[in-house]
Amino acid sequence: MKYRRLGNSGLEVSAMGLGTNSFGKRADESTSIRIMEEALDSGINFIDTANIYAGTKSERIIGQALVGKRQRVVLATKAGLVRGEGPNQRGSSRYHLQQELEGSLKRLNTDYIDLYQIHTFDPNTPLEETLRTLDDMVRAGKVRYIGASNYAAWELMKALGLSELKGLNRFVSLQVSYSLADRTPEQEMVPLCLDQGVGIIPYFPLAGGILSGKYSLSDKVPADSRADKDPSFNRFINERTLTLADQVNQLAVEYGYTASGLSLAWLMDQPVVSTAIVGATRQEQLRENLRSLEIELNPELIEKLDHLSRTSRYSEPFATYRLS
């Protein structure tokens, strides 16, 4: 396994992390635990979840799987998206974040979170309130590092500047949709993160599985796929993304790789990427994804991938999650 620093922090994370959005949903408890065990045995040390994944089931399953193994992982979770109907059941207020942190600690069966991330920017809470709350969590020993997710470039830069001004702990990472099918972060976010020492943690590294080649323009959706379990995902399946997936697959075959492996290798080759969180619903899927770490990209192949995916740099973002 290859390891990299998380942004400019001293924390080392595996180049490939394990995303657990499917735990308790598309992967049942026993399957999820087996995936976790195999991921740890392979050298993956970065485990990413959130308080809303599978209605808190993801965190609970991870908490069970990590009994006796907590010291082996860099555990990341998130808060800030909608948790309920009440007025304080969302956002990045001190009230909500403190409440959600305590809930996550109990479900994860731990007394600290390695990377606590704000799931999305909250326009209704003063940014200083959010940052001071996170700083208090770090000083209390309940959180070790803090990160952001789904922030716009100006929002992230404002947060970094305010942290510097007030002497607060600053974000070391940013989660954002980033893949061959979504290179929009390269317009503003990538230069900003390189300049400010913030590590990018891509989610949807395979565009939700589209870049694996499992989808087609036909109406038939593969059984047990993300689109099968979550019909709203079908909005991402269109002619542009499917055409790109087909082109990447053809190129992968030409070089003796899989489309998934080539797509992940390209992403992890980006200097700004600290770790790419890749989900799995089966152990076999995890093993296949791990093979991408063995791929060495030469300049010619990089140029071909850049050419095929260039339009995705100027298209609409593949995904982003915001508070309404």
Evaluate if residue 183 carries a pLDDT over 60. yes
Cβ density class 28-54: b for 16+ within 10 Å, e for less: eeebbbebbebbbebebbbbbbbbbbb
Structure tokens that stand for 243 in this block: 């055409």
Distances 210 to 167, 239, 321 between C-alpha atoms, Å: 43, 11, 19
For the chain, the distance separating the N- and C-terminal CA atoms, rounded to the nearest angstrom, is 40
Residue 53 annotated among the catalytic residues of the structure: yes
Evaluate if residue 224 carries a pLDDT over 80. no
**pTM for this model (two decimals):** 0.95
The single residue listed with the structure tokens 């770090």 is 138
Among the residues of the chain, which ranges form H helices? 29-42, 57-65, 94-107, 127-139, 153-166, 189-196, 226-229, 239-255, 259-268, 283-290, 299-309
For residue 266, which of 302, 221, 237, 235 has the smallest C-alpha distance? 302
60, 24 contact by CB (below 8 A): yes
If you average pLDDT over residues 283-305, what whole number do you get?
97
Mean pLDDT of the chain: 94
Evaluate if residue 229 carries a pLDDT over 70. no
pLDDT in tens, 108-127: 999 999 999 999 999 999 99
Evaluate if residue 308 carries a pLDDT over 60. yes
Percentage of the chain beyond pLDDT 90 is: 90
Angle of helix 94-107 relative to helix 57-65, nearest 10 degrees? 40
pLDDT in tens, 130-177: 999 999 999 999 999 999 999 999 999 999 999 999 999 999 999 999
Confidence of residue 317 (pLDDT cuts 50, 70, 90): very high
- Say which of 3, 53, 151, 257 is annotated catalytic: 53
Query: Residue 286 carries which side chain, given as an amino acid letter?
Result: L
Evaluate if residue 128 carries a pLDDT over 80. yes
Structure tokens that stand for 172 in this block: 């070391």
**What per-residue confidence (pLDDT) applies to 235?**
73
Cβ density class 193-208: b for 16+ within 10 Å, e for less: beebebbbbbbbbbbb
If you average pLDDT over residues 220-247, what whole number do you get?
73
**What per-residue confidence (pLDDT) applies to 217?**
61
If you average pLDDT over residues 9-37, what whole number do you get?
97
SS3 assignment for 73-132: CEEEEEECCCCCCCCCCCCCCHHHHHHHHHHHHHHCCCCCEEEEEECCCCCCCCHHHHHH
**What per-residue confidence (pLDDT) applies to 230?**
63
Percentage of the chain beyond pLDDT 70 is: 94
CA distance 213 to 243: 10
